[in-house]
Amino acid sequence: QLNSTTSDPATLDTADSAESLLAESTVSCSPEIITDEFRAFQIYDCYLVVASDAGLEIIDQHALHERIMYEHLRTKILAGVVESQRLLIPETIECTAVQAAAVLEHSELMTQIGFDIQEFGGTTLLLHSFPVLIPRGSIVRIVLDFAEKLIQKDGRLSRRDLLDHMLHTMSCRAAIKSGQRLALEEMRELLRQRHLVQDSHHCPHGRPTALTLSRHTLDQQFGRLG
């Protein structure tokens, strides 16, 4: 957003004036990636803008990465090869007695997705290991969320539905966040990985991951197709 008191455009003909104008902008914009196929940069620490001969894409970095993480975790869980991080000193998780009982009752399911959790008193759980793809700071929240879902299910959800809920929760917590500044290599890797998933156009919740404007649409909107 530019300051409304900016001088008349006709006077902005020097490099200093241009730099001053840019300095007043509140839009955060990263350095750009330039390849033979496209140019890309991050705006608002939230979206990736990708320009190519085909047109423009504005990508929601969290939604896209969440889809990538969901499919990656799902593949590993179904193959039984989830990698876990073993803690040298187990971490305690404080919860209610009902939550603890729900988690312990489904310990086999928790193990399948990479958690090793044991009893440590009526209202305390002991975490020995967790999936390496999940940030450690998100683990307690994930376990308590699982516990609440297990309590709410009350036999109404199948094992498959529970597993899918856990996948959604884990992929959301593990994904790049909105508002997170990305390094060039992180942007490059995110754009590379989107071609490796089955449905890169929607996050696991069904929301779109990108807005696409074709070159034809741009030319049409600017009246260049006469």
CA distance 41 to 34: 9
Is residue 2 one of the residues assigned to a domain? Answer: no
Look up the domain containing 75 and give its range.
Answer: 66-174
Which pTM does this prediction carry? 0.79
Strands, sheet with 38-43, edge to edge from the N-terminal-most edge strand: 33-34, 38-43, 47-52, 55-60, 210-214
Q: Residue 84: which CATH number?
A: 3.30.1370.100
- Residue 18 pLDDT: 45
- Mean of pLDDT values over 14-26: 49
Q: Residue 45: which CATH number?
A: 3.30.1540.20
Q: How confident is the model at residue 21 (pLDDT cuts 50, 70, 90)?
A: very low
Burial of 40 (0-12, 13-18, 19+ CB in 10 A): buried
Residues 71 and 56 in one domain: no
- Residue 1 pLDDT: 38
Each residue's pLDDT tens digit, 26-78: 556 666 777 767 889 999 999 999 998 889 999 999 999 999 999 999 999 98
Each residue's pLDDT tens digit, 129-165: 999 988 888 999 999 999 998 888 766 778 888 889 8
